[in-house]
Amino acid sequence: MTAVQATARITAVPDGRGGTALPELTGEGPLALRRTRSAVGRAARVTVVGAMTAPLGGDRLAVHVGVEPGAVLYVDAAAATVSLPGRTGEQARYDVRLTVGEDAELHWLPEPLIAAEGSDLRMTTTAQLAPGARLVLREEQILGRAGERPGRLTTRLTVRVGGRPLLDQELSFGPGAAGWAGPAVLHTHRAVGQLLLVDPAFDDKPAEVRLPAWEAEEGEAVLTPLAGPGALLTAVAPDGLRLRRLLSATLAP
């Protein structure tokens, strides 16, 4: 089976009537894009719909999102993304590039990424924000489907505001990753996630370190301030449902 190479592109701009227009909304292969209704003021909303099974080993997928100054965009997904093994054992790649202009706002809220047994995926998310831009970004990784061992998964999240680094972290799980299942990392948990908030309001009132309310069997979470206009909520949990509960707390500057 031939590896798939596909790129989806979204561009959001102010429509001149208090809303947001989408002059570019194109998808290829497994990355189908649909404009969906938004009940959030002047925002446009796009849903990523998986048109075929991907990523498989050797696939190269990419999503490029640009939000022009003054526009507001929500991007979500119709279903989880499942990383599957290919015939050759080659690593798959999934690259997301987000660009948010001044006084623009992006909510990047995909469904979980599931690393199925035997898969090998490297996913990178790079966000470039202008001063005054706002970003809500959620990432959830589930290690293995029910009753199976996890695949190999490496993720890197890099965020810059005004050209200056705000966050740069890399996580690696599954076969060949050192110490990922040890007590200092996931231990018995098999779901991990991050909720990143970038808002200029944090310049005046930084977030405070705190532990959101949770029960022992639900997992663990912590909110930490960043050295810049942002805060990061990190959580681990036994499964995806309990992970989402931990990440669903309402957070505001």
Q: Are 154 and 126 in contact (CB under 8 A)?
A: no
**pLDDT band, residue 252 (cuts 50/70/90):** very low
Cα(175)–Cα(246) distance, integer angstroms: 26
DSSP state of 56: B
pLDDT at 157 over 80: yes
User: Taking the alpha carbons of 240, 244, 245, 246 in that order, is the dihedral positive or negative?
Assistant: positive
pLDDT per residue over 133-144, tens digit each? 999 999 999 999
What distance, in Å, lies between the first and last C-alpha atoms of the chain? 49
Closest CA to 109 of 127, 135, 83: 135
State the Cα–Cα distance between residues 152 and 116, nearest whole angstrom. Answer: 8
How would you classify the pairing of strands 230-237 and 164-173? unpaired
Concatenating the DSSP letter of every residue in 102-146 gives TT-EEEEEPPPEEE-TT-EEEEEEEEEE-TT-EEEEEEEEEESST
pLDDT value at residue 230: 95
Mean pLDDT, the chain, whole residue set = 89
DSSP secondary structure of 174-211:
STT-TTTTSTTTTTT--EEEEEEEE-THHHHS----B-
Contact call for residues 134 and 200 (beta carbons, < 8 A) = yes
pLDDT digits (tens, 9 = 90+) for 183-206: 767 878 889 999 999 999 998 888
Contact 55, 83 (CB under 8 A): yes
Q: What is the largest CA-CA distance in the chain?
A: 54
Cα distance between residue 65 and residue 87, in whole Å = 31
Amino acid code (one letter) for 7: T
pLDDT in tens, 106-145: 999 999 999 999 999 999 999 999 999 999 999 999 999 8
| Structure-token match 């790129």, residue found | 7
Per-residue model confidence (pLDDT) at position 87: 77
Residue found under tokens 């987000």: 98
